[in-house]
A and B are shown apart, each in its own frame.
Chain A
Amino acid sequence: MKTPVPVLRLPRGPDHPDSRGFDPSSPRFQALRSTRGGAAAAAAGLPELREEQQARSLLRQRYLRSLLAMRDAQVRFRMYERVHVEARFGASDIDVLNFQVSDLQTPIGVQKEALLRCPDMISYSLEL
């Protein structure tokens, strides 16, 4: 007997039958609106704070997408105590405190599976 594939939720539909949509607060709208001139969403309250929040959320989104793009890539990590290692990136935990990697090349051998602590990292680099 086959089990149906579970789903997280159903696709969202229009709010109501004549709804137009195209939410001006969506990240894509915010990011691309400068090319459209005359933003409809005039900020109520402190414009600078709103702008900073928008920039923050855009940068955060970009970072999360970079983590997705890193999957299965060879990444070089620069850690404290002059440690340099290279591994195949798997995933990050939700708080970006640990990175799950495979085939971690260390001075004492290759570790098939490992968790790297993000607070131990200074920087990491890869080629896209």
Chain B
Amino acid sequence: HSAPTRVACTVAGGTVLCRGGRLLTMAMRQTPLTCSGHTRPVVDLAFSGITPYGYFLISACKDGKPMLRQGDTGDWIGTFLGHKGAVWGATLNKEATKAATAAADFTAKVWDAVTGDETLTLAHKHIVKTVHFTQDSIYLLTGGNDKVLRVFDLSKPEADPQEFTGHTSAIKKALWCNSDKQILSAADDKTVRLWDRNTMEVLKTLSFDVSVSSMEYIPDGEILVITYGKTIAFYNALSLELIKTVDAPASIHSASLHPEKDFFVAGGDDFKLYKYDYSTKEELESYKGHFGPVHCVRFSPDGELYASGSEDGTLRLWQTAVGKTYGLWKCVLPEELVSENSDTLYCNTPEIKA
């Protein structure tokens, strides 16, 4: 055959092509997709599950206006308007029908993620930093600077929340785990605590020398990803036993493990995104792109891309398999780059801002 056959797989950052029976490797450079719209640092982001309409992404920003985007393209869908202060945490339920946000205006808000309407405002006594839905979207966990974890029953909004006290400093992150039977919380008191949702006692505590900067829970496989200092640590989420640690070249603010557990990505103070092999702990790639420290990074639910939020006010989407056709990225052969249709493809501008 004279026309090249495209093999859509990547080998260590390249794209393998087959032309007339010969294999060619075309090394491709990662093109991050920049999502603009926020005017202040992006401090948190979360993906929904995979829905019949694709998957979605919510970003929390210090400008007080969290945004909803289409997960695979980064296209803006809407902005949740209502908070009167910086939004520190944001989350979506699995179906992307509800959103929740945690803000410096001492409230957590629940939103209809389809219409953008605010459905509930939950008053707190201090800055709220973190919010998380249970799998059934009925309960919302919140945590913040008043050091108390709260569980709100969204079907009974007037009822008092369940309160979990114990942390001695501001709570940064709280998550449901173990099929929503337990709660994991990380605070500035340099501990991570595992709580039983019903008895409300602390089942286990992890202590660190420094504050934990981020936490991610992978239900499938029960893995907990914790970052502190320059370290990315992986724990068994049920026993809180350490699985492994990896040290990065710079202080890390957030890390995320790929759904298939073959890679993880991390970002922090040096503005770069790092990609590692999870089994070998080998650093595979590092990417420049952000103009400020990276505050949050998360893999999409299908693992095809990861999103990062930065002090520079942008969200960037990065391909897991560089060069693969997915979302807005298009795999092309060398000749196609100079065809008459090349003006419809952006291929020579590495720094692209929307």
Contacts and interface: CB of A to CB of B under 8 A. Distances in A.
Interface string A19-44: 11111101111011100100010000
B11 interface: no
A6 B345 contact: yes
B348 interface: yes
Nearest to A5: B31
Interface residues of A, number: 31
Contacts of A33: 114-115
A70 B240 CA distance: 40
B97 A4 contact: no
A65 interface: yes
Interface in B323-354: 323, 328-332, 334, 337, 344-350, 352-354
Contacts of A40: 115
A82 interface: no
A2 B73 CA distance: 23
Interface stretch (A7-15, A91-99, A114-122): A7-15
B116 A8 contact: no
Contacts, number: 122
Contacts of A65: 52
B191 interface: no
Contact of A7 (B68, B322, B352): B352
B34 interface: yes
Interface string B35-77: 1110100000000000011000000000000011100011111
Nearest to A3: B28
Interface in A44-79: 62, 65
A2 B53 contact: no
Contact of A9 (B39, B81, B319, B346): B346
B75 A11 contact: yes
A24 B116 CA distance: 10
Given A13-B35, A21-B79, A32-B97, A8 B330 contact: yes
A14 B37 contact: yes
Interface of B: 26-31, 33-37, 39, 52-53, 67-69, 73-79, 81, 97, 112, 114-116, 317, 319, 322-323, 328-332, 334, 337, 344-350, 352-354
